[in-house]
């Protein structure tokens, strides 16, 4: 069975978040949008991020949510087609107002960069050599 994934993130200003992620090439499903929430399409028909202003997010949560400016509540990873795609995506995030999270990581078979979005959520963008993925863990050890 195939499953849909909905990542729910608290944001301070849904309009500012929508503008930020639009600059990274994401689209939005406006059927699931109101003044406090938007539905960001990560992978059409498979994965989405519901960006909800704090009060709306809190209405779904049963525990207080962590402040992403001071705590890591999750690491959100998205893929890129190649190394240049990783750099392009991360550079676009930084140009749109994101902040660098850590230095680029290059493992030979895998390359990634990271940034914090406007609300401090930690995003990773990465590329992996599909031949190394198909070969399995032994190939990782040889290339890493």
Residues 13-41 pLDDT 10s: 999 999 999 999 999 999 999 999 999 99
Q: Tokens for 98? A: 């994101």
Enter the pTM of the model.
0.87
Mean pLDDT of the chain: 92
Q: Distance between CA atoms of 102 and 73, rounded to whole angstroms?
A: 16
**Which residues make up the CATH 3.10.180.10 domain(s) of the chain?**
1-61, 72-144
CATH of 1-61, one of 3.10.450.50, 3.10.180.10, 3.40.50.620, 1.10.10.10: 3.10.180.10
Q: Is 48 exposed, middle or buried (0-12, 13-18, 19+ CB in 10 A)?
A: buried
Banded model confidence at residue 139, pLDDT cuts 50, 70, 90: low
Q: Distance between CA atoms of 37 and 54, rounded to whole angstroms?
A: 10
């Amino acid at each position: 069975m195939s499953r849909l994934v909905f990542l729910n993130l608290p944001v301070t200003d849904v309009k500012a978040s929508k503008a930020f992620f639009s600059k990274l090439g994401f689209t939005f499903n406006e059927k699931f949008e109101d003044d406090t929430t938007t539905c960001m399409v990560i992978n059409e028909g498979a994965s989405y991020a519901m960006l909800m202003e704090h009060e709306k997010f809190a209405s779904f949560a049963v525990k207080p949510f962590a402040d992403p400016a001071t705590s890591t509540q999750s690491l959100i990873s998205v893929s890129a087609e190649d190394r240049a795609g990783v750099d392009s995506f991360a550079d676009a995030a930084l140009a749109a107002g994101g902040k660098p999270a850590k230095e680029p990581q290059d493992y030979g078979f895998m390359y990634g960069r990271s940034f914090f979005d406007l609300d401090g959520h930690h995003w990773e963008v990465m590329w992996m050599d599909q031949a190394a993925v198909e070969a399995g863990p032994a190939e990782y050890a040889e290339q890493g």
